[in-house]
């Protein structure tokens, strides 16, 4: 189980920019990098179109998600997680997020109106330590 995510400041800024640019709608993307034991090391936050384009849910555009996965794999990387925004609420998983997380074994990083938090699902919602690099 992942218990820490390390992510560069520039990638957190990308996510913050996505939150602001798409407000009041949710934005989303993938976190590309590697796993080192129980730590997910993010090398790139890649925005992906929210094909739902709603204020309360997201769906990664299937083609963009597939292309990102292929590109990551070609470069010897993995999609270690997803991110999405809660521009009008806190960085706590919604009921829809919780239900969806149960089928996705990676980190979920949520950028909310009150900051960022990361989670995994392991027989329930578990917070993940978020470490920022410069």
> Which of 8, 33, 27 lies closest to 110, judged by CA?
27
The CA distances from residue 33 to 11, 94, 106, in Å, are 12, 26, 12
Residue 30 near residue 81 (C-beta atoms within 8 A): yes
> Which of 107, 103, 99, 96 lies closest to 129, judged by CA?
107
* Active site annotation includes 73: no
The CA distances from residue 118 to 5, 51, 57, 62, 74, in Å, are 8, 22, 17, 23, 26
Report the DSSP pairing between strands 28-36 and 4-8: unpaired
H or E element in which residue 117 lies: strand 115-121
User: Which residue in 18, 20, 26, 132 is the catalytic one?
Assistant: 26
- So which residues are the catalytic ones? 26
């Amino acid at each position: 189980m992942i218990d820490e995510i390390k992510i560069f400041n520039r990638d957190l800024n990308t996510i913050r920019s996505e939150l602001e640019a798409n407000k009041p709608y949710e934005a989303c993307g993938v976190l590309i990098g590697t796993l080192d034991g129980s730590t997910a090391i993010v090398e790139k936050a890649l925005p992906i179109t929210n094909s739902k384009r709603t204020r309360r849910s997201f769906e990664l555009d299937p083609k963009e998600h597939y292309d990102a996965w292929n590109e990551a794999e070609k470069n010897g990387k993995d999609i270690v997680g997803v991110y999405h925004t809660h521009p009008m609420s806190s960085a706590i998983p919604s009921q829809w997020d919780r239900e969806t997380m149960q089928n996705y074994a990676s980190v979920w990083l949520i950028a909310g109106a009150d900051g960022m938090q990361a989670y995994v699902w392991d027989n329930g919602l578990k917070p993940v330590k978020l470490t920022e690099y410069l």
